[in-house]
Chain A
Amino acid sequence: NAGVTQTPKFQVLKTGQSMTLQCAQDMNHEYMSWYRQDPGMGLRLIHYSVGAGITDQGEVPNGYNVSRSTTEDFPLRLLSAAPSQTSVYFCASTQAPRGVRGWVQYFGPGTRLTVT
């Protein structure tokens, strides 16, 4: 059971390039999310998914696309990278509550992206 995995760990892009950040989970969680964290700041929600084929926007969705074709995978696409997207990106999957105990979210190790 690897939990939440993210690839790559580090990436450098030039302005205007596109790329996909990969996220996978092996816990059969329905809910998955993407966050970004800028230096010295808290996490901000980019997009999230409540199940395969269903996605929605978070606080800062502009410049990013997501899709969810399987339960396990939730890739994040940068369409045309900009220096403002330099950040650490975290993927998370959420364990549904047992009874009325509430949700628990598990995070991956992060992808450190620099856009020059």
Chain B
Amino acid sequence: DAKTTQPTSMDCAEGRAANLPCNHSTISGNEYVYWYRQIHSQGPQYIIHGLKNNETNEMASLIITEDRKSSTLILPHATLRDTAVYYCIARRYNQGGKLIFGQGTELSVKP
């Protein structure tokens, strides 16, 4: 799996967009970019994933640069409940049950 690099922590004002960056400069062509988050003491929660096109679902948007070396997770209107650690993971399509987690970004949404 390609190594991913994320800032250790970020703050965001409630109601504003939270933009979480991730660097994955060694990503290979068959590796997807996945985002999970972990709210304190709970199991990680899947947010979104993509290969090369931008993706959007009910939780977030994922913007992947054209060269695929970095991506940004966007929470359009952050709430206090979005305070969590966010993990960016690069993994191959056929890796099944294996996810290798890094340290993630601790996002604090403040009133």
Contact = CB atoms under 8 A, between A and B. Distances in A.
B49 A104 contact: yes
Nearest to A104: B46
Given A102-B51, A110-B41, A110-B43, A44 B96 contact: no
Nearest to B55: A101
Contact of A50 (B36, B91, B96): B96
B102 interface: yes
Contacts, number: 70
A58 B104 contact: no
Interface stretch (A14-22, A76-84, A89-97): A89-97
Interface in A88-114: 88, 90, 92-94, 96-97, 100, 102-110
Instruction: Give chain B's interface residue range (CB within 8 Å of chain A).
Output: 20 to 34
Instruction: Give chain A's interface residue range (CB within 8 Å of chain B).
Output: 20 to 34
A49 B93 contact: no
How would you classify the secondary structure of chain A's contact residues: helix, strand, loop or mixed? Answer: strand
Nearest to A108: B43
A45 B34 CA distance: 16
Interface string A16-41: 00000000000000111101000001
A107 B45 contact: yes
Residue from B44, B45, B49, B100 with most neighbouring chain A CB atoms (10 Å): B44
B81 interface: no
A102 B99 contact: no
Contacts of B95: 103
A95 B34 CA distance: 14
Given A30-B96, A31-B96, A100-B93, A43 B101 contact: yes
Nearest to A97: B93
Contacts of B87: 42
Interface string B31-49: 0101010000111111001
